[in-house]
Chain A
Amino acid sequence: MLEREHTVVTINEKEYLADPGQNLVELLNTTDENVPQICYNESLGPIETCDTCIVQVNGEMVRACGTKVEAGMKVQTKLPHVHKAQKESLDRILENHELYCTVCDYNNGSCEIHNTMAEFGLEHQSRPFEPKPYNRDESGSFYRYDPDQCILCGRCVEVCQDIEVNETLTIDWERQEPRVIWDNDVPIDQSSCVNCGQCATVCPCNAIMEKGMEGDAGFLTDQQPGILRSMIELTKKAETGYGPLFAVSDTEAEMREERIKKTKTVCTYCGVGCSFDVWTKDRKVLKVEPSAQSPANGISTCVKGKFGWDYVNSEERLTKPLIRRGDSFEEVEWNEAIAYVAERMKEIKAEKGADDLGFISSSKATNEESYLMQKLSRQVIGTNNVDNCSRYCQSPATKGLFRTVGHGGDSGSIDDIAKADLVITIGSNTAESHPVLASRIKRSHKLFGQKLYVFDLRKHEMATRADRFYQPNSGTDLVWLSAVTKYILDQGLEDKTFLNEWVNGFDEYRESLEPFTMDYASELTGIPKEELIEVAEEIASFERVAICWAMGVTQHTLGSDTSTAISNLLLVTGNYMKPGCGAYPLRGHNNVQGCSDFGSMPNFFPGYEKTEDDDVRKRYEQAWGVDLPKEPGKDNHQMIEAIHDDNLSAMYVMGEDTGIVDANINYVTAAFEKLDLFIVQDLFLTKTAEYADVVLPASPSLEKEGTFTNTERRIQRLYKSLDPLPGSKPDWEILQLIAKELGHDWGYEHPGEIMEEAASLTPLFAGVSYERLEGYNSLQWPVAEDGSDEPVLFLDGFPFDDKKAKLFPLDFELEYKTTDHYDLHVNNGRILEHFHEGNMTYKSEGITRKTPNAWIEVSAELAKERGLSEGATVKLFSDAGEADGVVTITDRVRGKELYIPLNDNGKLAVNFLTDNSVDKDSNTPAYKEIAVRMEVVKKIGKSPIPSNNHRRGNPVPQISVQVQKKWERDDYEFPGNQVNKNG
């Protein structure tokens, strides 16, 4: 057995065993010794600004947070002079922070200044509070900064610079009165701040605070400024000692607990799966509070998760079911709507057969709801025509992984991506599409020497940070991936042991690589040969390589093959079966993973078990008491085609704005018009719902219980923060009502019972239960019956009969090219602050005032050639349709590439342009392959990007808060030294 290194430390005469190199304050916090600390936070690590954790180490006073544990260390925390030094530090903090707790919106029991002072027993303020000569900055949309309350602990700077890595905040230590500044000292609203809100999350007091809290959290805080000031003065006068003040404010804080509800939920936007507490007062969302125990995100959020919840209380929410009668919808009661739906479905099934109906589930729905949608389709109606929106994005990735490694999900966790020596992103605008995950990469890259290679058409943020950045010609990633793999094999740089032991199909695969020479790759991709060789050599040289990819890979006609090529490369270099490496097809929506996992797929039951598998089908037939269809049903794309071919006459769409997000929307909406029965279930009267015969008002995630599965295959529970808006119902309840009306009384009283059923039928989720998912607990599938899960996949082999992975041979044929007529290539994707078609985020005034619409990105070269200036209006024409919008000129795109954010449902909806071409293996629309021609409408105009958009800001990168500049100030003296000197 290995001898563990023992580090014994004596603290106040008692011995403790520490980890070698452990931070002293961290060790102290595991003991009963109470040492004050304000700037230290376990998620941020030591910042060393507040000086309150001073202790004596081997006879000398030091900051505990700035000290690493050494064997034999003698630590004293209670000596009189140590106490005096700590008190001096706390006094200095109170010079910067006015205590008026009872009338402060931050007085919710978690104010770290309040708690530290109370715990320390500080009774009197030795020196008076000094206001700073700055005004409050309330210019931003979502949070405000009050310099007078700011203690300059630098947590906000640390989180902005090194956790979020947006690099907007700094403290200017040089000026007479230091303060936090944004960019080069501009108002918050004019800065590069992306409103991730993490500064407000980590601020220990009310200096940076969410605006939603202001005047709303306390019983006495909703006052006019003048009166509030009077009350602050009054509170201060009465505070001879802090004891009574704390007693009163603690009581008030306890009273707030009665009124403010804090509910754990999981974010409903991207696939990162951030979890956090939502603070609500009646129906108002006060704030979103992530915590260190949030498994996917820790303390991090992005603007959408932190602030983008206005849609929940939007005036536009539907509150009554609608039935189309004549040329308008009529509001009806639920029982009428449900009876109508059931009756019409029954009629159509009787007349045309079960396969004339189709069902589409959504990533916005919970796992339980996806499960019920396929149950409705298979058990109640009797068809496999059920699919979900992952068809639009990540089905090709799933396909590629099934071919090679057997599980269609990320190989590891976000932690593993952060741990990798090299991260390669392909076709992923990670910083905007998966912001919290991107921050982990940005942090590892900035601080821990992680290497980052980016392959993308656009020079987005990750590209500007990358060690290597290439812009391969659109749709050619498969070629360089295969060429790099071939080169690695040619040079003998592959992981031979791994291939011998764990991989099948080598010879055939090796042969298939023959055409992929470096010269060929260079010619097709446009990346110089020498560079590709370096890339290959470096990939082979790193111990742990993680490859992340997204829609830039999958939404192509060769999406599945390119995903396969990625997995092949990882197999050849042995980057599976260990932490810190593997394949990461970043899931785009909160539950796009779970929606497929739980069976809303035409060929799979939950857990990816084939409908054609007799044993599997028998299992479900027994459980559900009906015969089930065997042949795979139609996917989304085939359903739309079938409508045009008169083979599908009824469709049920749950929570998906298909009429905007599907490719070639003119074609799709024409299909909707042909349907005999079209049921749409949504929060709003969406574009899709406009074509419906029945619209059923659903409830969003905050109004229901259930589970979501994020990109890490992590199943997490959401709890009900708000009651459903009167008139609306959670999807699972609606589906259950319809099933009952159709003669199948499921009888679920709680989503937990649905999960119980799904887990009992699906080996992949055997051990999943609501008890195991309580609170912030989570499980990453596969989950064995005993509840053990797999944060890192494949540690014991691959899920094939002989436990070996497969190399999958590929070839390449590029079909798509721009022509003389359609001479420009349109690329599209997300932007940070809006989501999908924008049905949710455009409801947020704070977001919309900074980003009111989408735009068209044009390169400087193209602008010059066409005589365009910023703000020009252009029309774009493709084979499928036309769109128009306003131009911004940027170096994010080059040459004849255009980029349109997909988050627009007006005239710039990019899917007016997309056509019916699909990935040949998964029918995912090739959204990224549009050739267009451009017509100039107006040569110049107002820029589509407002002056207060973060893209116009000027970040100021630095590492941490640079506390040494504070220490160098003439008016600074280490409290320990001061106490020693003055006795």
Chain B
Amino acid sequence: MAKAIRRVKPMEVPREEQIEKDVSEVKEAVADNKDAILKGIKLLKALEEGGTLDSAYAFTKKKKEALGYVANELNREQYTPLIENLPELIFLIGELDVKSLREVTERMNQGIEQMNTGDPAAKTSVFDLAKALKDPEINRSITMMMQFLKGMGRQ
């Protein structure tokens, strides 16, 4: 006569036995993945030596809070232009004609160099200006500037 029952006596596995079972499971996994584990240890060592392991550990533990701080902080108004400018800046870099820019920069540097050699107290009269136009270097600069102005104003 088997009456309906619901009582279940749980199996009692002694802790040592359970540990032994778990350890053998882990052992097997280690043996199966020997190379990966050894590499993993190397990686850990490298991280530890560089001091990165501690930071990574701390960051992982506090990942949610950290992300929250960053998100909250970056949302403050003072960063808005910065964040908005960042991607713009990236696009700007893409659009710039870097080759020409470099040329212009070179010339600008030459100009600055030249400027530094002159007497800062010296004055220039209209006559000097007209005379200067005849100097091929100055004339080339002025012509370039005028072309630049023309281009900048183009719609």
Interface residue ranges of B45-82 to A (CB < 8 Å): 64, 67-68, 71-72, 74-75, 80
Interface membership of chain A positions 637-651, coded 1 if the CB is closer than 8 angstroms to chain B and 0 otherwise: 000000000000000
Interface membership of chain A positions 676-689, coded 1 if the CB is closer than 8 angstroms to chain B and 0 otherwise: 00100000010100
* Chain A residues, CB < 8 A from B130: none
Whether B71 contacts A231 by the Cβ 8 Å rule is yes
* Chain A residues, CB < 8 A from B11: 320, 330-333
Interface residue ranges of A684-736 to B (CB < 8 Å): 685, 687, 690-693
Whether A230 contacts B5 by the Cβ 8 Å rule is no
Which of A114-122, A192-200, A220-228, A420-428 lies at the interface?
A220-228
Interface residue ranges of B1-34 to A (CB < 8 Å): 1-11
Complex Cα distance A237/B84, Å? 6
Whether B67 contacts A234 by the Cβ 8 Å rule is no
Which of A179-187, A321-329, A493-501, A855-863 lies at the interface?
A321-329
With beta carbons under 8 angstroms apart, the residue of B1, B8, B67, B71 that contacts A329 is B8
Whether A230 contacts B2 by the Cβ 8 Å rule is no
* Chain B residues, CB < 8 A from A220: 67
Whether B87 contacts A675 by the Cβ 8 Å rule is no
* Chain A residues, CB < 8 A from B74: 234
A110 CB → nearest B CB, Å: 25
Whether B87 contacts A233 by the Cβ 8 Å rule is no
Complex Cα distance A233/B83, Å? 11
Whether A690 contacts B68 by the Cβ 8 Å rule is no
In the complex, the chain A residue whose C-beta lies closest to that of B88 is A240
Complex Cα distance A237/B2, Å? 71
Interface residue ranges of B77-103 to A (CB < 8 Å): 80, 83-84, 86-88, 90-91
* Chain B residues, CB < 8 A from A322: 8
In the complex, the chain B residue whose C-beta lies closest to that of A695 is B8
Complex Cα distance A674/B72, Å? 70
The answer to the question of A669 belonging to the interface, with a C-beta cut-off of 8 Å to chain B, is yes
Complex Cα distance A312/B12, Å? 25
* Chain B residues, CB < 8 A from A675: 2
* Chain B residues, CB < 8 A from A234: 71, 74-75, 83
The answer to the question of A453 belonging to the interface, with a C-beta cut-off of 8 Å to chain B, is no
* Chain B residues, CB < 8 A from A325: 9
Complex Cα distance A550/B72, Å? 60
Complex Cα distance A685/B8, Å? 10
The answer to the question of A787 belonging to the interface, with a C-beta cut-off of 8 Å to chain B, is no
Whether B6 contacts A331 by the Cβ 8 Å rule is no
Whether A227 contacts B71 by the Cβ 8 Å rule is yes
Whether B72 contacts A690 by the Cβ 8 Å rule is no
In the complex, the chain B residue whose C-beta lies closest to that of A240 is B87
A633 CB → nearest B CB, Å: 23
Given contacts A227-B68, A238-B86, contact A672 B2 (CB under 8 A): yes
Whether A324 contacts B2 by the Cβ 8 Å rule is yes
B129 CB → nearest A CB, Å: 45
Whether A673 contacts B6 by the Cβ 8 Å rule is no
Whether B64 contacts A240 by the Cβ 8 Å rule is no
Whether B68 contacts A223 by the Cβ 8 Å rule is yes
Whether A328 contacts B4 by the Cβ 8 Å rule is no
Whether B64 contacts A690 by the Cβ 8 Å rule is no
- Candidate in B4, B71, B91 with the most chain A CB atoms within 10 angstroms: B71
Whether B2 contacts A238 by the Cβ 8 Å rule is no
Given contacts A223-B67, A230-B75, A233-B75, contact A329 B83 (CB under 8 A): no
B4 CB → nearest A CB, Å: 4
CB-based A-B contact count at 8 angstroms: 83
Whether A685 contacts B6 by the Cβ 8 Å rule is yes
The answer to the question of A867 belonging to the interface, with a C-beta cut-off of 8 Å to chain B, is no
Whether A238 contacts B1 by the Cβ 8 Å rule is no
Complex Cα distance A244/B83, Å? 13
The answer to the question of A241 belonging to the interface, with a C-beta cut-off of 8 Å to chain B, is yes
Interface residue ranges of A292-351 to B (CB < 8 Å): 320, 322, 324-325, 327-333
> How big is chain B's contact interface, by range?
20 to 34
* Chain B residues, CB < 8 A from A238: 83, 86-87
Given contacts A237-B80, A331-B10, contact A230 B1 (CB under 8 A): no
Whether B9 contacts A329 by the Cβ 8 Å rule is yes
* Chain B residues, CB < 8 A from A241: 87, 91
Interface residue ranges of B82-137 to A (CB < 8 Å): 83-84, 86-88, 90-91
Whether A690 contacts B84 by the Cβ 8 Å rule is no
* Chain B residues, CB < 8 A from A244: 87, 90
B29 CB → nearest A CB, Å: 15
Whether A223 contacts B64 by the Cβ 8 Å rule is yes
B59 CB → nearest A CB, Å: 14
A627 CB → nearest B CB, Å: 33
Complex Cα distance A224/B87, Å? 27
In the complex, the chain A residue whose C-beta lies closest to that of B73 is A230
Complex Cα distance A240/B90, Å? 10
* Chain A residues, CB < 8 A from B67: 220, 223, 227, 231
B56 CB → nearest A CB, Å: 16
A909 CB → nearest B CB, Å: 14
In the complex, the chain A residue whose C-beta lies closest to that of B69 is A227
Whether A328 contacts B2 by the Cβ 8 Å rule is no
Given contacts A328-B5, A331-B9, A685-B8, contact A227 B91 (CB under 8 A): no
Interface residue ranges of A207-237 to B (CB < 8 Å): 220, 222-224, 227, 230-231, 233-234, 237
* Chain A residues, CB < 8 A from B80: 237
Given contacts A220-B67, A227-B72, A320-B11, contact A327 B4 (CB under 8 A): no
* Chain B residues, CB < 8 A from A233: 75
Whether A687 contacts B4 by the Cβ 8 Å rule is yes
- Candidate in A234, A239, A328, A332 with the most chain B CB atoms within 10 angstroms: A234
A241 CB → nearest B CB, Å: 7
* Chain B residues, CB < 8 A from A669: 4
Given contacts A322-B8, A329-B5, A330-B9, contact A240 B84 (CB under 8 A): yes
With beta carbons under 8 angstroms apart, the residue of A230, A320, A674, A690 that contacts B71 is A230
* Chain B residues, CB < 8 A from A332: 11
B51 CB → nearest A CB, Å: 26
Whether B2 contacts A691 by the Cβ 8 Å rule is yes
Complex Cα distance A31/B91, Å? 35
With beta carbons under 8 angstroms apart, the residue of B68, B83, B91 that contacts A230 is B68
* Chain A residues, CB < 8 A from B71: 227, 230-231, 234
Given contacts A237-B84, A240-B91, contact A327 B72 (CB under 8 A): no
* Chain B residues, CB < 8 A from A223: 64, 67-68
A760 CB → nearest B CB, Å: 36
Complex Cα distance A231/B88, Å? 20
Whether A331 contacts B8 by the Cβ 8 Å rule is yes
* Chain A residues, CB < 8 A from B1: 673-674
Q: List 10 A-B contacts (CB under 8 A).
A: A220-B67, A227-B68, A227-B72, A231-B67, A237-B75, A237-B83, A328-B9, A330-B8, A332-B11, A685-B6
Binding site for A on B (CB under 8 A): 1-11, 64, 67-68, 71-72, 74-75, 80, 83-84, 86-88, 90-91
Cβ-closest 8 pairs across A and B = A331-B11, A690-B4, A328-B7, A240-B87, A230-B71, A227-B68, A329-B8, A231-B71
Binding site for B on A (CB under 8 A): 220, 222-224, 227, 230-231, 233-234, 237-241, 244, 320, 322, 324-325, 327-333, 669, 672-675, 678, 685, 687, 690-693
Having A327-B3, A691-B3, one finds 5 other A-B pairs with CB under 8 Å, namely A227-B67, A230-B72, A240-B91, A320-B11, A690-B4
